[in-house]
Every structure is written in C-alpha cells, then in structure tokens.
Amino acid sequence: MIRAAFLLALVVVLVAAARSFLPEETSLVGSGAALAFGFVLLAALQSGTLFAGLRMPRLTGYLVCGFVAGPSVTNLVTERMLVDLKLVNGVAIGLIALSAGGELSFRRVRARLGAIVATGGFALASGVLFLSLAFLAASPLLPFMADAGWTQRAAIALTMGVVFSALSPTVTLALLTETRAAGPISEMSLGIVVVGDLVIVVAFAAVNAVVSAAFGQADTAGMSALLFHVFGSIGAGVVVALLLLVYLKLVHLRVPLFVFGVCFLCAEAGTRLHLDPLLVCLTAGLFLENLTDIEGTKLVHEIQPAAMPTFAVFFAVAGAGLHWDVFKLVAPIAVGMAVVRGGALYAGGRLGMALARVAPAERRWLHFALYSQSGVAIGLAILLKERFGPSGWGDGASACILGGVMVNEMVGPLLFKTALVRSGEAGKGKPGVGAGTSADPAPAQAVAH
Amino acid sequence: MLRVVLGLACALVLAVLAAHPAVRRVERRLGLTVLVSSGVPFLVLGVAFRLPQVGILTDEVVVDLRPALEFGLGWLGFVVGMQFDVREMDGLPDKTGALVFFETGVPLLAAAGACALALYALGSPWSPRDAMVLGACAAPAAPVAAVALARATGSSSASLVARVAVLDDVAGVAVLALVCALFRPTDELSAWKLPHVAWLFVTLGMGGVLGILTYVLVRSASGPAEEVAYLIGAVSLSAGMAGYLGISPLVACAIAGALLTNLPHERMDDLRATIFQLERPLYLIFLLVAGALWDPTAWQGWLLALVFVVARVGAKLVGAYAAVRAGPTDLPDAPTLALALSPQSPIAIATIVSFSAMYGRADQATALAWMTTAVIAGAVVTEIGVQAVGRLRGGMRFEEAAS
C-alpha cells in the first residue's frame, strides 16, 4: 500500500508539473490524450491497489481516482482530454462487452435460465413501474416536467423509468474478474445483467415511440435511426463475430492485439455509423460463445491480460465524467430515485427468485448484482439529451439520471463485492480465466446438466 | 463512412499479417529491414487513404489516431533505449569510439551540411535546426544483414557492427534531444521560461524520472499481465508528458528505456521481449499514420532525397575506409562495412515524423514536407540500392574479413 501511495503521488506530481507548462485552456491533440491515458491508467491502478488494501473494490478506487482527477475536482484530466479519451473508452467498452458476451454460455446456464429470466424480468418490470410512478409523482417538483400535460409527463416518466432501470454488465464483469468469483451467483448475475441490458436498450427504442407520439412528433426518421442503432448494432455484432471466427480459425496469432484492433474499429464505426459499440461487441461475444464452436471463454482467456488496464481506464474515465456541479443541483431527486430504484429492483428480484425457486442461500446474495449502474445508463441518458434536448426536457432528464447513476456507480460495486465475498464465491475462479468460470470444470458441467 | 471502417479494417488485418513470424523469417533470410519488407505498403496505404478521392484517413480520423502516433513514438523510444545496455557496451573492443565517429558522426555531419545547402538552394530559409534533424535522420543504421550473420554464425565483426548500430540510433536520438532544447517548439505559449541548456537538463531529468517510475511500477507488478499494463501506462504517460513539454516522445522514452534496461530486474529479459514483440505491429500502424501525414507531391522533396542519400551513403563509405584504418582490428573490409551500415534504421522515419509533429506549423509546412520526403524516400532508395549492390558483390563478406 505504501508503494502504491508513493507511486500515485509521483504520477500526480509529474502530471501536475507537465500541465503547469501550458496555460490551463491549451490542449495538445495527441499529447493531451496520451498524457491523460497514461495518467488515468497508472493512477487508477494504484488507487485500485489502495482501495483493495482497505477491503473495498478496486473498481471503486478507479472511479474515485477518476472523479478526483477529473474536471469536477482537480482538473488534472480536463474536459478536452476526456473528449480525446472517448475513443479509448470506446475500445474499453468493446473489450468489456466482448468479454461479458463471451462469458455467458447459455449451455452452461441452461439449468438456471428460468431463474435468470424470472429474476431479471421481475426486477426490471418492477424497476420500470416504480421508477416511472415515482418520476410521475415527483413531476410537479421537476422543472423540466412541470409545464407538461399529464400524458406527456407520463411518457417522460416512463422513458426515465426505463433508462434508470438499466443494470451494469461492465461493473458486474469487472467485479467478477477482480474477485475471481465463480459459482451459481456469479453465473446468474452475469446472465441477468447482460440479458437485462439488452432488454432495456430495446425497450428504450419502444418508449421513444411513445414519447414522440405524446409530444405529437411524427418522428419517423428519428425512430428509424434509433431502430438502426439497436438492430444495426446487433447485426454488426454478428459480422464482427464472423470476422473473429475466421481469424481465430485461420490465423490465431497475436489474438489480443487483433481483438484490440477490432474493438477500435467498433468504436470508430460506432461514432461514424451511429452504432453502439457495447451492443456490437456484446452480440459478438454471445454469438461466438453460443453459436460457434469457438469457446468465448477461451477468447476471454486470451484477452485476459488486457482486462485490468481496460477496467481501470474505463471506470476512471467514467469517474472523471461525473459532474459534481450537475449532481449538486439534482442531488435530492437523484438520491431519492436511487433509493426507489434499489427498493424496486430488490422487491422485483426477490419475487422473481421466489417464483423460480432459487435456493435460499443464493436468494440472499443474488439481488446485490442489480444495484450497480454505468455505461448503458450513461449512454442512454446522453441519447435522451440529444434526442429530447430540443423538446425542452431532455437536458433536465439526462442530468437527473446521471446524478442517480453517480450514486449507484459508487454504492453498487461495494454491495456486490460484499455479496460475492460473503456468499463464498469470491476466489473460486481459475486465475487468469474470465469471470464466472469455475476453477474446477466439474461444477460448471454440473450446472449445465 | 462505411469506407472508413472497411479501410481501417483492411489496414488492421494487414498489420497483423505483416507481423507474422513467417514475414520476419523471410526478412532475415533476405537481409531486409521492416521498412522495405512490409513497411512500404503501409506508407503507400497511408498516402492513398489520405487522398480526398479515397477519404479513409480523413482529418477527423487522423486526429483520432494522433494519440496512437504519440504512443507509437514513445514505444519506439523505449525500444531504442532498451537496446542500450551499458554492460554490453563495456565489452566493445578498443577504438570503437573511432568507428562510431566515422560511421555515425561523419554521415550525420555530411547529410546535415549537404541538406542545409540544398534546402537553402531550394528557397527555404537558412535553418540549422532543419539541418540538424536531417543529420539525426542520417545517423541511425539498420545493419540487418550483419545482425542476421552475427546471430547465425557468431561472426565477431558482424556482431560488432550490430552493436555499433545501437549507438547510431542513440546518436540520432541525442541530436533530436539537442534540437528540442535549442529550438523550442512551444515556448511562446508556455508558462516556463528557461534557458536552452536548462531544457537539456529537463529532458534528461524527465527521462530519468520516467525511467525510475517505470522501473518501480514493473517491479511492483504481481504478474506479466500487470507488468504489461504498467508498461503501456508508463509509455503513454512518458509520451504525453514529453509532448506537453515540447520534447520529442522518442527522446524522453529512449532515456527512460535506457535507464530501465540498466537497472537490476529478474524479469528484464521478458520485459524486453514484450517491448520488442509489440514494436513491429506498432511500427506498421505508425507508418500508416506517417503516410497519411506525408505529402510526397513536391518535386523539391525528391531532389532533397537525392542529396540526402548521396551525402549519407557517400559519407558512410568514406567513414568506412577511415574506420577500417583507425577503428578496431576485427572489422570487415570497408565496402562491406559501408554496405552493412547504409540501410536506414526505422528510427530515422520516427525521428522525422516526431519532428514534423512538433514543429509542423503552417508557415513551416513546405520545408517539413520536403524533409519528410527526403527521409522516407531516402530510406527506401538506399535499401534497394544496398540490396542490389550487395547481391552483385555476392553478399556481405563478414566471415572472410573475420578470418
């Protein structure tokens, strides 16, 4: 820990010194991004070590590090640098999503598919319902909804309910990898959050149509763009999976580098073709694992060395992107909605688990996988802002959701890590193999059969 | 937009394929550098992708790739630095200094002088800075044939030539460091007002601190994966810091790499292997970006390339004769020595690209474009010429000389 603290201090001093060379507002295109990337990676890894020493998730260390270094606090990583890091972040999202998809074998979790669908389904339904009602009830207090009619308020509340119900495959996978957890809770939690977020993204497209109708906008172009965003991404994911399949079968050389390049392409394509890199790579991972004879787990194993820096950069950048000034404005409603969300997901999840007859020991800990939020919720909040900012409510709704995400992003990982440790699944995974995969092949097969 | 994605996908697949061990085996057998064996297609691709009619490497994409360029320069800097193992240098025979002076210093001075005159004659303002950089690009050699022979036969003369080439790279980087200190690229913006010599200390100090940081980081790593993560972070931080301070990432990272390689670490060989393993694909992507930033359309650049090649190779030949007389005893004959040390090192192109990235303001774009053409075209032409002459002579005669 002392070494980590020393290294963190050294990196901070070096970057502060370099940043003092040029005026605050000056930004160098290539060097700024390289400096920010190097700093974020090294500082986040050291912060992760410090937090691990305090028995907290490394991931929380990454987030806190990013937040402190970001524009809201010390501004060592400026807004401009964050924009420059967007592509790096896109690559990180791609790698994480590919790993999450590659880890989720429907064959392996077949016996638990019912539990996954019931738990995830009831949790999400409950989340959307209660959050929509809560937003509707709070609408007179929310400036961006106060002037709208009740039909429009209901439509906005429904949209916000859907977005705010999003889960987090990135946090889940990061914690499973960090704790080397394996077992039924690990497998089910990954299945729930991956499938849950796919459902949320598709549901978001549907509620957009409702909102457009409520506001009298026959926005067919916007809707088709959104549908292309969702289904085009899934289609592109299949193409990426085929590309990886051909490469793995015919070349199978420098796989991590190739996968890294593919994720870079997905990020570039995402920016230019309005596709979602997360959906593209998630689909690719799922396709490879479940519809080909390439084992996604093996692919994940090959890219495992990239996992730690990827998670560190992704979450540190996410932390740096948290805006304290925005959060201060929406803090009461954000905290309130985070509490409603937690309660709704807990109630729905417990009901689903009871109906699916999940073992009581698993029931006790599984719901903790539901509380974290990150990439998808942030992405959808930004989409809300872009699409409905001109309608007068997109900016406020987006700020409100991002404030809530900030709470869930900080609290959720702490809870889930505690659950993994207390349930006894932490440390059961094979070192160097992706999350959810047991050290001993027998239990995994037992689950499958 | 789909074109951009497909174009980049093609480049990616090509980079991975060109980094295949089979390609390296062919290179070693034929005695080719990475530039001629697989680099030229990437340069050409970069130029072609940049054309408005093709529109793959658009301004926006090039801006997106700029951090990768800085990172690539940093990585190449580490490669140069990590070859500089003082313990190996201790084993060099007597009079190696004379060999280095004649084979590195003379071409450096000759190319700098000739190119400065040529640039002036072509209408560019008199600039010692540009001359020094062209000299720095002339110094580094890539004696691939000698390296291959030294590996295959253990020939002592080939081994000596291979080790001298490491010093060539270091000399080139040192001159670039001097340029960065004497001709500051961003001083009008900066909050630091330092005398030029202080910038040399800043450069050395920064490289040293970054080297120590990298050392402490990799020593604290709990496994190879963490080590690679730290290495990537350290290279990126070093490259970014150097760029921020108006120092070439190549220079800062070379100093850091040199320090790192000379500190005790039980996994140092693995670390070196990791750095060298990624060098090739990174270099190929780097060449793609370099191609995109290169404007080969001006005839002046090609004329300058001619002057550069003639001055450089001529000086290598003259230097070889002098070195055989004044240098260590186990050198090959002068024409073989000159032939072995004539192909340009990949560091030369990295040097000119780094220089262009730092000093590439609009008012200096023309001369920079000519200089870039001179170094890139010079590297290709020199190697083709060396290959042709080498084959006419029946190969490099290291063994004969050694015996």
Task: Report the residue from A7, A30, A264 with minimal CB separation from B243.
Answer: A30
Residue of B nearest to A256 (CA): B16
Quick one: pLDDT at residue B193? 79
pLDDT one-digit tens code per residue, B75-129: 989 988 888 888 877 777 888 888 888 888 899 999 999 999 998 888 877 778 8
pLDDT at B254: 93
Query: A41 and B233: CB-CB below 8 Å?
Result: yes
Torsional class of B123: left (φ above 0), alpha (ψ -120 to 50), beta (otherwise) = left
Split at pLDDT 50, 70, 90, the class of B401 is: very low
Write the DSSP symbol of residue A233: H
**Interface contact A28, partner B, CB < 8 A:** yes
Facing residues of B141 across strands? B344
Does a structural domain hold residue B6?
Answer: no
3-state secondary structure of B302: helix
Q: A199 Cβ partners below 8 Å, 6+ apart?
A: A120, A124
Residues of chain B contacting residue A272, judged by C-beta atoms under 8 Å apart: 1, 4-5
Q: What per-residue confidence (pLDDT) applies to B153?
A: 61
Inform me whether the pLDDT recorded for B292 exceeds 80.
yes
Q: Is residue B38 part of a domain?
A: no
Cβ within 8 Å, pair B67-A45:
no
CB contact under 8 A, A45 and B229: yes
Residues 6 or more apart whose CB falls under 8 angstroms from that of A232 comprise A273, A274, A275
Do the chains contact at B191 and A23, CB–CB below 8 Å? yes
Task: Supply the angle between the helices A184-214 and A169-179 in degrees, to the nearest 10.
Answer: 170
Residue A380 CA to residue A391 CA, distance in Å, equals 17
Q: A20 contacts in B (CB within 8 Å)?
A: 191-192
Q: What is the dihedral of CA A352, A354, A356, A362, to 10 degrees?
A: 100
Contact status of A13 with chain B (Cβ, < 8 Å)? no
Which residues numbered 408-447 in A keep a CB inside 8 Å of some CB on B?
432
Could you say which of A29, A261, A272 has the minimum Cβ distance to residue B5? A272
User: Chain A to chain B, count of Cβ pairs less than 8 Å apart?
Assistant: 167
The better pLDDT of the pair B285, A7 is held by A7
| Structure-model confidence comparison of residues B9 and B209, the more confident one | B209
Domain boundaries, chain A: 2-19+26-82, 90-448
CA–CA distance, B163 with B143 (Å, rounded to integer): 9
Q: Is A15 on the interface with B (CB under 8 A)?
A: yes
Is A257 in Cβ contact with B237 (below 8 Å)? no
Query: Mean pLDDT for chain B?
Result: 81
Please state, in angstroms and rounded to a whole number, the distance separating the CA atoms of residues A255 and A427: 27
CA separation for the pair B152, B158 (Å, rounded)? 10
pTM for the full predicted model: 0.79
Closest chain A C-alpha to B271 CA, distance in angstroms: 14
pLDDT at A218: 57
Residue in chain A closest to B205 (alpha carbons) equals: A14
Tallying the residues shown for chain A, one arrives at 449
Asked if pLDDT for residue B402 goes beyond 60, the answer is no
- The tally of CA atoms less than 13 A away on the side-chain side of residue B387 is 17
The residue in chain B having the minimum alpha-carbon distance to the alpha carbon of residue A84 is: B64
Q: Rounded CA gap, A193 and A104, in Å?
A: 11
| CATH number for the domain harbouring residue B72 | 1.20.1530.10
What distance in Å separates the CA atoms of residue B391 and residue B403, rounded to the nearest whole number? 21
What's the average model confidence in pLDDT over B292-313? 88
Q: What is the mean pLDDT of residues B13-36?
A: 67
Please choose, from the candidates A57, A69, A60, A61, the residue with its C-alpha nearest in 3D space to the C-alpha of residue A16. A69
Query: B-chain residues within 8 Å CB-CB of A268?
Result: 4-5, 8, 61, 64
Q: How far A112 CA lies from chain B's nearest CA (Å)?
A: 33
| Residue A38 sits at the chain B interface (C-beta within 8 Å) | yes
In a domain, B37, yes or no: no
In a domain, B346, yes or no: yes
B240 and A32 within 8 Å at the Cβ level: the answer is yes
CA-atom Rg of chain B in angstroms: 20
Both tokens assigned to A1: 């820990």
Greater pLDDT, A252 or B296: B296
- Contact of A31 with chain B, judged by CB distance below 8 Å, is answered with yes
> B-contacting residues of A 65-94, CB under 8 Å?
84, 87-88
Entry field: residues in chain B: 403
Residue B208 CA to residue B253 CA, distance in Å, equals 9
Handedness of CA B283, B286, B291, B294 (dihedral sign): negative
Structural domain including B126 reads 68-402
**Residue A348's pLDDT is what?**
92
User: Using the beta-carbon criterion (under 8 Å), do B243 and A20 form an inter-chain contact?
Assistant: no
Q: How far is B12 from chain A (nearest CA, A)?
A: 7
The total number of structural domains that make up chain B: 1
Residue B141 DSSP symbol: B
Q: Are the C-beta atoms of residues A66 and A40 closer than 8 Å to each other?
A: yes
Q: Is A309 on the interface with B (CB under 8 A)?
A: yes
The dihedrals phi and psi of B54, each to the nearest 5 degrees, come to: -85, -50
* pLDDT value at residue A437: 43
How high is the pLDDT of residue A436?
A: 44
User: Could you give the 3-state DSSP secondary structure of residue A24?
Assistant: coil
Q: Establish if B210 belongs to a structural domain.
A: yes
Q: H/E element holding B151?
A: helix B144-153
Task: Check residue B85 and give its pLDDT.
Answer: 82
Residues B332 and B323: their CA atoms lie apart, in Å, by 10
Q: What is the DSSP letter of A429?
A: B
Q: Cβ separation of A7 and B190 shorter than 8 Å?
A: no
Identify whether B43 is part of a domain: no
Comparing CA positions, the residue from B309, B11, B264, B283 lying closest to residue B138 is B309
Which of B186, B216, B236 minimises the CB distance to A34? B236
Interface test with B, best of A29, A81, A311 (most B CBs within 10 A): A29
| Predicted local confidence at residue A230, as pLDDT | 77
Which residues of chain B does A4 touch, with a Cβ-Cβ cutoff of 8 Å? 220
A contact residues 233-272, partner B, Cβ 8 Å cutoff = 243, 251, 253-254, 257-258, 261-262, 264-265, 268-269, 272
Closest-CA residue to A187 (of A238, A134, A120): A120
Q: How far apart are CA A154 and CA A132, in angstroms?
A: 8
Q: Is residue B45 part of a domain?
A: no
- Structure tokens that stand for B296 in this block: 């080969």
pLDDT value of residue B3: 65
For residue A131, the model assigns a pLDDT of 92
Nearest CA in chain A to B74: A34
| CB-CB neighbors (< 8 A) of A45 in chain B | 226, 229-230, 233
Q: Report chain B residues whose CB lies below 8 A from the CB of A242.
A: none
pLDDT in tens, chain A (449 residues): 788 898 999 999 998 888 888 777 666 777 788 888 899 999 998 998 898 888 777 878 888 898 898 888 888 888 888 887 777 777 887 887 888 788 777 777 777 888 888 999 999 999 999 999 999 898 888 888 777 788 888 888 898 899 888 888 888 888 888 888 888 888 888 888 888 888 887 888 778 777 777 776 655 666 676 677 778 888 888 988 888 888 887 777 777 777 888 887 787 777 677 777 778 888 888 888 888 777 666 777 777 767 778 778 888 887 887 777 777 777 888 889 899 999 999 999 999 998 888 888 888 888 898 898 876 787 777 777 777 767 777 778 888 888 888 888 888 888 998 898 888 888 877 554 444 444 333 333 333 32
**Residues of chain B contacting residue A23, judged by C-beta atoms under 8 Å apart:** 189, 191
pLDDT at B204: 92
One CATH from 1.20.1530.20, 3.40.640.10, 3.40.190.10, 1.20.200.10 for A90-448: 1.20.1530.20
Report if residue B55 sits inside a domain: no
